[in-house]
Amino acid sequence: MKYVPRVALFLAIPALLFVVPWWTLVGAPTEGTGPLFWLGSAIFLLAFACLPAAMFLGHGPAQSDAASIVGDTLLGVAWVAFSWSVIGNVAGLVLPLAGVHDPDRSRIVAVGVLAVATALVGWGIAEARRVPRVRTVDVTLPGLGQGFDGLRLVVVTDTHFAALNRLRWSEKVVDVVNAQRPDIACHAGDLADGSVAKRHPQVDPLGKVDAPLGRFYITGNHEYFGDAQGWIDHMTSIGWQPLHNQHQTVTRGGDELVIAGIDDPTGVTLPGHGPDLPTALAGADPRLPVVLLAHQPKQITASAAAGVALQISGHTHGGQIWPFHYLVRLDQPVVAGLSRHGANTQLYTSRGTGFWGPQLRVFAPSEITVLVLRSAPAHA
CA–CA distance, 164 with 141 (Å, rounded to integer): 39
What whole-number distance in Å separates Cα of residue 179 and Cα of residue 152?
A: 12
pLDDT in tens, 250-285: 999 999 999 999 999 999 999 999 999 999 999 999
Given a cut of 70, whether residue 342 has pLDDT beyond it is yes
Least trusted range by pLDDT, from 11-15, 50-54, 265-269, 280-284: 11-15
Domain ranges in the chain are 3-128, 133-375
H or E segment and range at residue 313:
strand 310-313
Task: Yes or no: say if 364 and 320 are a contact pair by the CB < 8 Å rule.
Answer: yes
pLDDT per position as a tens digit, 188-246? 999 999 999 999 999 999 999 999 999 999 999 999 998 999 999 999 999 999 999 99
Report helix, strand or coil for 298: helix
**Average per-residue pLDDT for the chain:** 95
Distance between CA atoms of 220 and 281, rounded to whole angstroms? Answer: 19
Helix (H, G, I), strand (E, B) or coil at 261: strand
* Domain 133-375 class, CATH top level: alpha beta
Written as one letter, the residue type at 14 is P
CA–centroid distance for 112 within its chain: 29
Q: 195 has which bridge partners?
A: none
What integer pLDDT is reported at residue 7 of this predicted model? 66
Ranges 251-260, 284-293, 323-332, 371-380: which has the least confidence = 371-380
Of 241, 211, 238, nearest to 371 (Cα)? 211
- Show contacts of 231-238: CB within 8 Å, 24+ apart: 231/191, 231/192, 231/196, 233/196, 234/196, 234/200, 234/203, 235/187, 235/191, 235/203, 235/206, 238/203, 238/204, 238/206, 238/207
When pLDDT is cut at 50, 70 and 90, the band that residue 287 belongs to is very high
pLDDT band at 72 (very low <50, low <70, confident <90, very high): very high
pLDDT at 150 over 50: yes
Task: Provide DSSP, 185-242.
Answer: EEE-S--BSS-HHHHHHHHGGGGG---TT-EEE---TGGGGS-HHHHHHHHHHTT-EE
Share of the chain above pLDDT 70, in %: 97
Long-range contacts of 75-79 (CB under 8 A, 24+ apart): 75/17, 75/51, 75/357, 75/358, 76/121, 76/124, 76/321, 76/357, 76/358, 76/359, 76/360, 77/117, 77/121, 77/358, 78/14, 78/17, 78/18, 78/21, 78/47, 78/51, 79/17, 79/321, 79/324, 79/358
Percent of all residues in the chain with a pLDDT value above 90, rounded to a whole number: 92
Query: Per-residue confidence at 12, pLDDT binned at 50, 70, 90?
Result: confident
pLDDT digits (tens, 9 = 90+) for 77-90: 999 999 999 999 99
Q: What angle do CA 291, 212, 188 make, to 5 degrees?
A: 40
Q: How far apart are CA 378 and CA 39, in angstroms?
A: 71
At residue 13, the pLDDT reads 81
User: Quick one: pLDDT at residue 4?
Assistant: 65
Q: Model-level pTM greater than 0.85?
A: yes
- Residue-wise pLDDT tens digits, 33-44: 999 999 999 999
- How long, in residues, is the chain? 380
- Is residue 377 predicted with pLDDT exceeding 90? no
Q: How far apart are CA 92 and CA 40, in angstroms?
A: 21
pLDDT at 380: 39
